[in-house]
Amino acid sequence: MMRYLEYDFLRDHGLQHFDNWVAVFGDQKTDWELKPAGNGFKERTRIANYTGLPV
């Protein structure tokens, strides 16, 4: 939603790409999960929390 409402802010701070935005506003967590076929595990990184978002 910030991309539509605050695009100028994102562009001015170099956050117009999602990867840059997540590095600032998201906490990432890497964990193991079962493969879809059920024959092993793989590491998966996901966004755990959002922090510091403007209100």
Q: Give pLDDT tens digits for 12-47.
A: 988 888 888 888 888 999 999 999 999 999 999 999
Per DSSP, 13 falls in state T
Q: What is the pTM (predicted TM-score) of this model?
A: 0.59
Domain assignment present for 28: yes
Domain assignment present for 24: yes
Domain with 17 in it: 2-50
Does the structure show a pLDDT above 80 at 54? Answer: no
**What type of residue sits at position 34?**
L
Burial grade of 15 (CB within 10 A; 0-12, 13-18, 19 or more): buried
Contact 35, 21 (CB under 8 A): no
Give the integer Cα–Cα distance in Å for 51 and 12. 20
What total number of domains does the chain contain?
Answer: 1
